[in-house]
Amino acid sequence: MRVFKLAFRNLRRQKRRSIFTGLSMFVGFVMAGFFIGWADGTYNHIIDSFTSNRLGHIQIHARGYSDEPSLYKTIERPQRLGEELNSIQEIESWTPRIYTAGLVSVGDKSAGARLVGIDRRRENATTGMANQVVEGRYPSAPGEVMLGRGLARILAAEPGDELAVFSQAADGSVAEELYRVAALLDTGDPELNRSALYLGLDDARALFVLYNQAHEIAVTLHDLRRVEDLSSRLQGQFADSGLEVSPWQEFARDFYRAMQTDKNGMYISLVVVVIVVAITILNTILMSVMERQREYGVLRALGTRPGQIVKMVLSETALLSLASILLGALVTLVLNSHMAAEGIKLEQAVNWGGVQLEYMKGEVNLRSFLLPTLTVLLTSFTVSIFPALKAARTEPAKTMRTF
């Protein structure tokens, strides 16, 4: 306790030196913490936008559908399955879908299309599809469809036009029907824009004779970080039902790999930031300790034991580090909380893998506090040990003459 009191007095006595040393630790902590929060927040924002706005965080299919999609591999009574999903706290929303292919035509123009049957209310709650409408209105009545705007351009179709659909039904009959174009969509995915036609779920079931069936149930969660854990739990829960549960890392594998590659580049940048922070702290503390050699010589001349000098130097470092970490953590929390809530609006939206980024987001997570804390502590104590030992072994007379 006496050593800590002496260390505290030394810090107060040399306020300018203490403030300068502590400031280097504080700035280093905030710099590293903000960078980590910003990087993690931006990547998670991209992932969440890509998955929740289109695919969902988790998808459920009949066994074998993911490897070989087929009109006949369906989930029976998806509503009953949905009731089970409603009871799981982590799940924000879910929506059933029907998929097949067909020919669509408007007037004398025709094109192949990916036909998607959706529950409009649930789809909008799950993926915010109404926000993708760029022309027309989000449909609410039977017999209304939505087109990707690329497909609409091929067909020269506009809202209000009549559209014919030709395909095959599950009972082997020809599926054909007339619909009215209600809206054009920009999904953010050029391929979907060129090929997708969205029907109401009841219209799709009647057209393809798939009553009370679905090919897919897309699920979104409140917290993206719970995806893998919940996916494993659901797989075990539905294993006996002939269903497969996949997290987004599996059904969006190309996107996941691209994100991992980009993250690896971010980690390299993070290492550079940590090294810069460590060198700054190292240099400041080293200069602070080395310029006090005469002081240590006087202490030795007064009979202070070497072990006490080592403890005093390390205690000063500990007090400065603790104060810098606490203040740095508070500032980092404020900055990252603001970035998570408000973000930074970009002057021009950036397209990343089909995701339109209008904001740079941050995130408050444990890593943005833990890694800077370890960096400050390890660097400050590592660089203090050698000068402390040197001070403890100093020869009083020689040191006082030299310094």
Convert the pLDDT of each residue in 288-315 to its tens digit: 666 666 666 666 676 667 677 777 777 8
Write down the domain spans for the chain.
2-51+256-402, 70-214
87-91, 320-324, 351-355, 366-370: least confidently modelled range: 351-355
Which of the pair, 380 or 234, is modelled with greater confidence? 234
Per the CB < 8 A criterion, the answer to whether 375 and 274 are in contact is: yes
Question: Strand (E) positions, 58-141?
Answer: 58-62, 75-76, 91-106, 109-118, 133-136
- pLDDT score recorded for residue 399: 54
Between 14-18, 91-95, 233-237, 264-268, the lowest mean confidence (pLDDT) is in 14-18
What is the rounded CA–CA span in Å between residue 376 and residue 379?
5
Is 244 in a helix, a strand, or coil? strand
Mean pLDDT of 193-222: 95
Tokens of 112: 């192949």
Amino acid (one-letter) located at 43: Y
pTM here is 0.75
Average pLDDT (383-400) is 65
Query: For 238-262, what is each residue's pLDDT tens digit?
Result: 878 889 999 998 888 888 888 788 7
For residue 57, the 8-state DSSP code is: S
Per-residue pLDDT at 85 exceeds 90: yes
Query: Does the 70-214 domain belong in CATH 3.40.1000?
Result: no
Q: Which token pair is 216?
A: 């897919």
pLDDT of residue 398: 58
pLDDT at residue 308, rounded to an integer: 72
Q: pLDDT band for position 60 (50/70/90)?
A: very high
Question: Is 90 exceeded by the pLDDT of residue 213?
Answer: yes
pLDDT classification of 224: cutoffs 50, 70, 90: confident
pLDDT of residue 391: 63
Q: Residue 151 pLDDT more than 90?
A: yes
